[in-house]
Amino acid sequence: MKGQGEHVQYSVFLCQLTEIQQVKLKVSLAELIHHAEDQVMFVKIGPVTKDQLDKRIATVGREFLPRDLTKFIY
């Protein structure tokens, strides 16, 4: 997943992908994972602007601040 999006937590990545990019990523991951043990979950949160980011991602403790917010703004 490294290089595909913002690594926000141990196994959590925030990615902005087109439909084609998502399909390609799923194919790549399907070749790498152990299907009986592993699970990769895709959750669509919709387009993200600064205001929407504040509403869609809530934290307890350290605030989530993407390194480069422009990656997540259309």
70 secondary structure, DSSP code? G
pLDDT for residue 30: 93
pLDDT for residue 69: 54
In this predicted structure, the answer to whether residue 49 has a pLDDT above a threshold of 50 is: yes
In this predicted structure, the answer to whether residue 67 has a pLDDT above a threshold of 70 is: no
In this predicted structure, the answer to whether residue 74 has a pLDDT above a threshold of 50 is: no
43 Cβ contact partners less than 8 Å away, ≥ 6 residues apart: none
Whether pTM exceeds 0.75: no
Contact 72, 14 (CB under 8 A): yes
- Higher model confidence: residue 26 or residue 70? 26
**Span 9-16, mean pLDDT?**
83
Contact 73, 66 (CB under 8 A): no
Contacts of range 11-16, beta carbons closer than 8 Å, 24 or more positions apart? 14/57, 14/66, 14/72, 16/48, 16/71, 16/72
